[in-house]
Amino acid sequence: MASTIRFFLGWSCLSAALAAPPALSAERAPSGAVPDTKISIVPEPTESPRYLHDEFKVAQGSTTIAGRALGYHSEAGILVVHVKDPMDEDAPPQREDKSGPPPPQPPEAGMSYVAYFRGDTEDSRRPITFLFNGGPGSSTVWLHMGAFGPKRVVTADDTHSPAAPYRIIDNDYSLLDVSDLVFIDAPGTGFGHLRGADKEKAFYGVDQDAHAFANFIVEFLSRHNRWNSAKYLFGESYGTTRSAALANILQGEKSVDLNGVILLSQILNFDTSVDQPQFNPGVDLPYALALPTYTATAWYHHKLPNQAAELEPLLKEVENFALTDYMQALAAGSALSAERKSEIASRLHSYTGLAADYIERANLRVNGGEFEKTLLGSDITTGRLDTRFAGPTIDPMSKEADYDPQAAAISSAYVSAFNDYVRTVLKFGERKTYKAEIELYKVWDMLHQPPGSPTKVPGPVNVMPDLAVAMKQNPNLKVQLNGGYYDLATPYFAAVYELRQLPIQSALRGNIEMHFYTSGHMVYAHEPDLKALHANVAAFIEKTRNAAGK
C-alpha cells in the first residue's frame, strides 16, 4: 500500500459470517451487451495471451447492514477499454506473408472490477457509485475490503495486525444499502493488463488515466443499462485527483452529468504536498498546511509540551497560526530576523513537540518524512497514511522515515483476504495474479492539460480547474470532502485550503460539504470512523439522487 517514492500518494490499502456459501456463479451476458469486435480489428486468435478480452463471473451473496439482511448479486470481471472506439478504425489488410511481424496493435487496457447490485436482478432506478483508490498505481482493494464492499477484513485499530488467518465479516457499513457499487482497478493493476503499441504512454498519465476511467464508466453504463441512474464518483487519495479530471471529462466529453463527487483524503494541487517540498523552494504552503496534522499527531502521542484536553479547538488555533504568523515568517525568507525566527520556532515547538533548536536548524521547514522520523525519537517512526501508527525505525541515523508503519501493519490483511475472497466467494481470478499495486513513477506522465489550456501545463499537477469547470457546467453537482486528522499523506487542512481556493462562484460554494474524522488517510480502518463515514456518504447520496429517480 505504501508508495515506492513519497511523491506518489500512499493507497490512500473467511469467517463464520460467510458460512452460508453463495450460489455457484454463472457467466451471463449483461444487459445491453455488444458483440466483441476485436476480431475485426486484428484478425488473430482471441484466446492468445497477446489479445485481451472481456470476461466476468456472477455470484449471489448476502450480508447484514445495520442489523438488516440484504441480498445482492456480484459481477467480478475484466472490461477492455481503448483509447479510441475500435469500430472507428478500419481493419488492417490481410497479410499474405504470415512470416513477418503482425501489424501494430492499437493500445488497450483490460480493467478489472467488482460490481455489486442489490437483489437478484439489477434495478436501473437505484443510484450507482464508481469507486477507486489512487497511487497512481494502486488497485481498489483498499476501499473494497476496508470501506464499502458487502464484506470487509478486520484489522487492528492502530497497531500491526497479526498474520493470517484473517477474518472477513459482514460489513455493517457497506454502501450497498443506498447505492449499487462498482469497484474499479486502475489500468495495469488488479487482474488487468495492457496491450498494444505504446501501451504505457496510452494509459499511464494524469490525463490518459482519467480518459481510461471515463471510457470504462461509459461502457459499463451501456452494458448494464444504467444511463438513467443517479451517478457518483468516490475517489480516495490520488483517486480524488482522478475524480476531478474524470468529472470534467464525463461532463464535457461524454455528456454525463454526475449527481455527486465524493472525495476521501483529497489532493487536487500537488503544490500542497508535504512529501518533498524541499525540492520546490519558494512554495511554502505545504509546511503551513501540514502543521495542523503535525499538531494532531503530537497530541495523539502525548508529545505536546502543553497537552490540550480536546483536539479540535486546538486545531482551529493552529490553523489560524499556520495561515498568519507562520506563513508570514516563511514568506519573509532571509529577511526574517533572528529574534522573529526564534519566536516562530518556539511556537512551532508548542504545536509539534519537536525541539525548537531542531526547527530552527530546519529553517522553520520540516517536511513530512522528517516529522515522522523525529517526533518519537530515533528508534520509533510514526505512520504517514495514519500517524496514530508507529513502528521501529529502519535506520536510526536516517533523516527521514524509510517506511510507513500503517502500510506495513495492514497491507497483508487486505491483499491476502481479497485474494481468498475473490476466488472462493466471487468465483473469479483462477490462474490470474492480482496486483494490489504497481510501480509507475518511472513511466507516469504527471503533466496535465486543464480545461481551457491548449497544451499540458509544466509543473506539479493541479486539477482544481477541472473540478471547478465541472461544477460550473453542472451547477447541481454536489461535492463531499472526507478527511482524517492523522493523515500526513494528504493533510486535511490542505484539502480545506484547496476547496476554499476553488475558482467557482460564491453561489456554488454551498454545493460543497466537509467532514473530518479521528483517523488517517484510510479513515475506514478505524471502525467508529467507518460508521460515521457511511452515515455521511449515505446521507449525501440520499439527498442528491434526485426525487425523479426514486
Q: Report d(CA 237, CA 26) in Å as an integer.
A: 35
SS3 content of the chain, % helix, strand, coil (to 5): 35, 20, 45
Amino acid residing at 500? R
What is the distance in angstroms between the CA of the first residue and the CA of the last residue of the chain? Answer: 38
DSSP state of 57: E
- Rounded to whole angstroms, the Cα distance separating 37 from 34 reads 9
Cα 373 to chain centroid, rounded:
25
533 class by beta-carbon count within 10 Å (0-12 exposed, 13-18 middle, 19+ buried): buried
Is 434 in contact with 191 (CB distance < 8 Å)? Answer: yes
Would you say 449 and 456 are in contact if contact means Cβ atoms under 8 Å apart? Answer: yes
Q: In angstroms, what CA-CA distances link 537 with 21, 209, 232, 497?
A: 30, 25, 11, 21
Q: In the chain, where are the structural domains located? A: 16-271+411-549, 278-406
What distance in Å separates the CA atoms of residue 77 and residue 71, rounded to the nearest whole number? 20
Q: What is the pTM of this model?
A: 0.89
Per-residue pLDDT of the chain (550 residues; tens, 9 = 90+): 444 334 344 333 323 332 333 333 333 333 334 333 333 344 444 445 667 999 999 999 999 998 899 999 999 999 999 998 777 777 666 766 667 676 778 899 999 999 999 999 999 999 999 999 999 999 999 999 999 999 999 999 888 999 989 999 999 999 999 999 999 999 999 999 999 889 999 999 999 999 999 999 999 999 999 999 999 999 999 999 999 999 999 999 999 999 999 999 999 999 999 999 999 999 999 999 999 999 999 999 999 999 999 999 999 999 999 999 999 999 999 999 999 999 999 999 999 999 999 999 999 999 999 999 999 999 999 999 999 999 999 998 899 998 888 999 899 999 999 999 999 999 999 999 999 999 998 999 999 999 999 999 999 999 999 999 999 999 999 999 999 999 999 999 999 999 999 999 999 999 999 999 999 999 999 999 999 999 999 999 999 997 544 4
**Do the Cβ atoms of 481 and 515 come closer than 8 Å?**
yes
The correct answer on CATH 3.50.50.60 for the domain covering 16-271+411-549 is: no
Per the CB < 8 A criterion, the answer to whether 381 and 401 are in contact is yes
The beta strands (E) that lie in 238-350 are given as 260-264
